[in-house]
Structure 1
Amino acid sequence: MSWLRQRYERRDALALLDPETDFHEIYRQLSLYEFPWDVNQALNFALFRTYAVPSIGKLLHTTGEFTRRVQKRYDDTGLLLEAVLEHGFHGEGRAAVRRINRMHRSYDISDDDMRYVLSTFVVTPIRWLDSYGWRRLTEAERAASANYYRELGRHMGIPDIPATWRDFETLLDEYEAAHFAYDPGSRSVADATLALLATFPPNHLAPRPAVDAFARSLMDAPLRRALAYPSPPKVVEALSRTALRLRGRFVRFMPARTEPSMFRDLPGVRSYPAGFTVEGLGTFPMGCPVTQGGDRSGTRPQHALRSDQLGDGTTTRQ
């Protein structure tokens, strides 16, 4: 069937690229053309997982940004990451990395937590596509995804970044086993995020309990336990996951996308109807780094940039 072979032409074209040097182009095409809906959903769940680590969830709750302004924080996160994806690590992409770094420098975030968050960006989309994608990623595409986030992590000044996607997977699993735990602040952030999810089209047409049950159906048991969410009925979980698998099979027979699907064009992105600039996205906290508890106002965040580093995390020394 020639029309079905055409569906796989992008996969075959990407196979001709080198994941060690062409990782940005490979990941860009995967995210904007090959699996845009899946990657967006997976990255949403990647960020959601991080709430179950109390050192992360408590900090997000303390800032109030993910409870009082959850729509703006959702939009800002996606738009900043999209700027890097679209433009790479120069121009507007470099400006986005600078914005991300300047926000992070205002908070007391450990290198361990930063590496863990980076690992969720690598591993969660791979696992999502294994379960629900219209096809699985090739080994080269997995390697390119890891290399893309390794480069992002380097520009963010994160040390000791895992070398391969398998290493990222090991880090994620071990970190979650050691650190997942309940915290009321983390739960508040998770609740606010699920409430926002219920407002996105077409979710807004469904009853809120149904949207919550669907979301909980896609969470694994350790994540639900850490956030103290009840497990949905087995039949609801089975139906939810089956629906996503069926969607993947349907997408397999759709024509390949020829125009990019941009996060900024999604109906759920609503904070900037008149447009935005990358430099204006995110938070602008003042004063000393915000800590996660206790009197640590004189401490320096472990991942803070040295005086010989640029705002994008790269050093001025070669």
Structure 2
Amino acid sequence: MDVVAVQVETWLRAFTAFAQNKRLAQGFLQKGLQRKKWIIVGGGILSYLMWVRYRRYKYIVMIRKKYPNPLDVLNNPEIAQEIHATTMKKEFPSTELALFKTFTIPTISKLLVATKQFEHDASRRAEDTELLLNEIVDTYGRIQKQLQKDPDTPEEDIQAQWKRPTLALERLNELHGKYSILNEDYIYTLSLFIFEPISWINRFEWRTLDEREINALFRVWYDVGIAMKMKDVPDTPEKMLAFKNMYAQKKIAYAPSNWKCGEPTVRHLLSNLPRCLQETAYTLSLYVLPSVLDTEDVVAFRLPHAESKLITYLFRATMFLRALFIRYWMLPRSHYVNRTPFYATTTSTGVDRYVPEFDYYQRRIYKDGYLISELGPDHFKPPFCHEAVIQPSFCPSLLAKK
């Protein structure tokens, strides 16, 4: 019996050891699978981050190789248009403060208040201004976007696009010609269109601008200034920046008209919110604006609240985290963000009109389309149709004669 007992005890010990070893093996196996899973997940994340990094910086690496001399961008308007379109309509198609900051110059704000456009319909004025400027500077991006959709787009349709900036400039000059605007105010506004986006991007976006991109912004808007018949336009980025700083120091000052332009603009920017929240959002914006604007602009608007260090910190921290997220986690855009369409849409009356490709605000001012020559106040609409230079279907009077 002792022998049997010993044998049974031996079997039990062997079974227990086997069970323990099996559990141990299973534990090692499970840990190995978990480790392998985390290796796969970590490798996937690392691969994605490397892919984002490559794609994010592919464009800027490309233009540095394509145009090794940054001065080539200044001297060649076609190169400038190419780089401007990609930088401002793919890399950084964000809203900036250029137009808003013009309101801190009393000679500008008083004239704008006198037109009564802000009083009657600030949203309409903002839309007219944006579409006119887009028609002037968006041609290259609009063509490239169309070629992405349809590489076989007829050449005559492409060439017709280059007539649109001329029409828009003629319309802009026509509207401005009805007022007495100081040449220096023109140039200062031009300088804001160049350097406010540069300042905003370099402070808050996911990378800073390359010298070629800065030169492209300058050249595109310099050409606009020349086409608008401005006199003594500074002919280098350095000279333009010096003029901007000098004129701001000399001319930015408080005037009641400043906020009469600023307030309707802020309310317009908040118009997408539910009506019950708009007034609260406007009140909050008066606390935030001093953290966004320069000190002299806050003084010129005579905003009711001084800059809060806490709000400034929260604003800058938010923008910093946003920039990090975009830089490391978001793939770049593959298309140009253009509101102006390549082709016009034929309306029910048989007239072709440009319908914006998208709207920032719920109120769609041009949901039925627009003609370039009719942008601006209704009482300044032209007596004849300018768009006939593009195609007769824009002009119902020409169609009626056929």
Task: Compute the TM-score of the two structures, normalised by the length of structure 1.
Answer: 0.83
Q: CA deviation at 1:169?
A: 1.5
Instruction: Kindly indicate whether residue 242 of structure 2 is the aligned counterpart of residue 166 of structure 1.
Output: no
Instruction: Kindly indicate whether residue 170 of structure 2 is the aligned counterpart of residue 98 of structure 1.
Output: yes
Structure 1 residues 227 and 3: CA distance shift in structure 2, 3 A: closer
**Aligned counterparts of 1:122 and 1:194: Cα–Cα separation in 2:** 22
The residue identity in structure 2 corresponding to 1:75 is: E
**Aligned counterparts of 1:91 and 1:125: Cα–Cα separation in 2:** 27
**Aligned counterparts of 1:141 and 1:128: Cα–Cα separation in 2:** 14
Of residues 342, 360, 363, the one that matches 1:267 is 360
Instruction: Kindly indicate whether residue 99 of structure 2 is the aligned counterpart of residue 53 of structure 1.
Output: no
Structure 1 residues 97 and 201: CA distance shift in structure 2, 3 A: farther
Contact between 1:49 and 1:223, CA under 8 Å: does it hold in 2?
A: yes
Instruction: Kindly indicate whether residue 244 of structure 2 is the aligned counterpart of residue 187 of structure 1.
Output: no
Q: CA deviation at 1:223?
A: 0.3
Q: Deviations over 1:287-307 (max 9, x none)?
A: xxxxxxxxxxxxxxxxxxxxx
Q: CA deviation at 1:202?
A: 9.8
Contact between 2:258 and 2:300, CA under 8 Å: does it hold in 1?
A: no
The residue identity in structure 1 corresponding to 2:88 is: S
Q: Deviations over 1:102-157 (max 9, x none)?
A: 01111100111111110000110111011011111101110111011111111100
Partner of residue 88, structure 2 = 31
Counting matched residue pairs gives 281
**Aligned counterparts of 1:157 and 1:202: Cα–Cα separation in 2:** 43
**Aligned counterparts of 1:30 and 1:222: Cα–Cα separation in 2:** 29
SS, match of residue 207 in structure 1: helix
Task: Give the structure with higher Rg (CA).
Answer: 2
Contact between 1:198 and 1:211, CA under 8 Å: does it hold in 2?
A: no
**Aligned counterparts of 1:118 and 1:200: Cα–Cα separation in 2:** 29
Structure 1 residues 131 and 34: CA distance shift in structure 2, 3 A: same
Q: CA deviation at 1:3?
A: 3.1
**Aligned counterparts of 1:218 and 1:30: Cα–Cα separation in 2:** 23
Q: CA deviation at 1:201?
A: 5.8
Partner of residue 126, structure 2 = 74
Unaligned 5+ runs, structure 1: 287-318
Of residues 376, 390, 395, the one that matches 1:282 is 376
Aligned pairs (5 A) from 1:8-27: 8-15=57-64, 16-17=66-67, 18-19=72-73, 20-21=75-76, 22-27=79-84
The residue identity in structure 1 corresponding to 2:313 is: A
**Aligned counterparts of 2:87 and 2:118: Cα–Cα separation in 1:** 28
Q: CA deviation at 1:9?
A: 1.1
SS, match of residue 138 in structure 2: helix
Q: CA RMSD in A?
A: 2.1
| Percent of aligned positions that are identical | 27
SS, match of residue 8 in structure 1: helix
Instruction: Kindly indicate whether residue 315 of structure 2 is the aligned counterpart of residue 227 of structure 1.
Output: no
Q: Report which of the two has the higher share of helix.
A: 2
